[in-house]
Structures are given as C-alpha cells and as structure tokens.
Amino acid sequence: MNRYMVGVFNDEFGLVKAFDQVKAGGNKIDEVFTPYPIHDVIVKMGRRTRISHAAFFYGIFGAASLLGFMYYASVISWPLNFGGKPTNAFPSFLVVSIVGTILIITILTLLTFSIRAKIFPGKAAVIIDPRATNDKFILVIDSNAPGFQPEKVEQVLKENGASEVYIHENPHAKL
C-alpha cells in the first residue's frame, strides 16, 4: 500500500522552506504540486529530463528520412525530366523537409512523453489533493521510505506554514 504524508501550503515561501528542511532531514519527497512552476523546487527535486535529447535525435532521423525518401522518389525511382532541369534539385526539397521534420519531432516527442509519463486513454488519474492545481501548494512525502519519522516531518511542515497535514493512502496508485 502506498502511503504519503501530504502538506498543504497557502504560499510558495512556506513550501520552499519546508521542502528544504524535510529533504535535509533525509526524507524522500515524492512530488510537489503547485499552481505555477517554482524553479528552486524543480532544481532541488533533482529530476532532469532528457526529452530534448530525444527530440534532437528525432529531428535528425526525420530530416534524413524525408530527404532520403524525396531523393529516392524523384531521382532514383521516378525521375522526371521537365524543362531540362536536374532531377536532384536539392533546394526544392528544403521546405517540405523542414515542415516534415517539425511534424515528426512533434509527434514522436509527444509519444515519448506520453509513454514516459504513463499517460494513456482510460487510465484513472491519481489525485492527491483536488486543490493542487487551483490555489494551494502541495508537498507529498513518501511515508514508506526507510527512516521516515511522521512526528518530526509533521512538525516541520506545520512550523513552515502548512495549513493542513494528512496521510494519503491509495493501494493502487504510485506517483
């Protein structure tokens, strides 16, 4: 069973202070939900995305594939001689290649993000606190982690301005 201690804050300053103190205490912070990005917290969570690297390789793959296909179709497979122009007119491939590459990058990056985030049709959403995207700042701490001391963590959260602290239990959800 997944158990999480949830701290609800009214402002970002209390959340950031509590985040630092809870993390310094050796506790595992599972997730932070805020109405807008807080860059200090994002950096301190230590989760870096490599989706931009994947998008770069998708772009190289897309451009090479499109240029290769257009070269094959217009030069090798079905060369047409019209007006004495060369069949390998590379500048005529550029606009289609750029637009097609952008399309390929967009679709493959979206697919990669969806697979990585485990987002698919029919999946039940895990909602820790329904106020998380409205006006509250939510700090979710893993209660199953070794060394977790609920009394100390609850005290730290309340000292830093948590308006509410509770345990969230969900036997089916993993954040």
Reduced 3-state DSSP string for 148-161: CCHHHHHHHHHHCC
CA angle at 170 for the pair 133 and 163, rounded to the nearest 5°: 45
What long-range pairs does 112-121 form, CB within 8 A, spacing at least 24?
Answer: 112/51, 112/54, 113/51, 116/51
User: How many CB atoms within 10 Å of residue 38?
Assistant: 17
pLDDT per residue as tens digits for the range 7-46? 999 998 999 999 999 988 888 888 899 888 888 888 888 8
Contacts of 139 (CB under 8 A, 6+ apart): 6, 7, 9, 15, 18, 19, 22, 29, 32, 157, 162
- pLDDT surpassing 60 at residue 172: no
Pairing relationship of beta strands 2-9 and 137-142 according to DSSP bridges = antiparallel
Q: Where are the domains of the chain?
A: 2-47+125-170, 51-116
- pLDDT surpassing 60 at residue 173: no
Query: Domain 2-47+125-170 class?
Result: alpha beta
Q: What is the pLDDT of residue 151?
A: 87
Q: What is the pLDDT of residue 1?
A: 64
Confidence of residue 174 (pLDDT cuts 50, 70, 90): low
Q: What is the pLDDT of residue 14?
A: 92
Distance CA 75, CA 77 (A): 6
The whole-number average pLDDT for the span 147-167 is 88
pLDDT per residue as tens digits for the range 51-81? 999 999 999 999 999 999 998 988 888 877 7
pLDDT per residue as tens digits for the range 93-134? 889 999 999 999 999 999 999 998 888 888 887 778 888 878
Q: What is the pLDDT of residue 80?
A: 74
Q: What is the pLDDT of residue 175?
A: 54
Q: What is the pLDDT of residue 145?
A: 81
Q: What is the pLDDT of residue 89?
A: 73
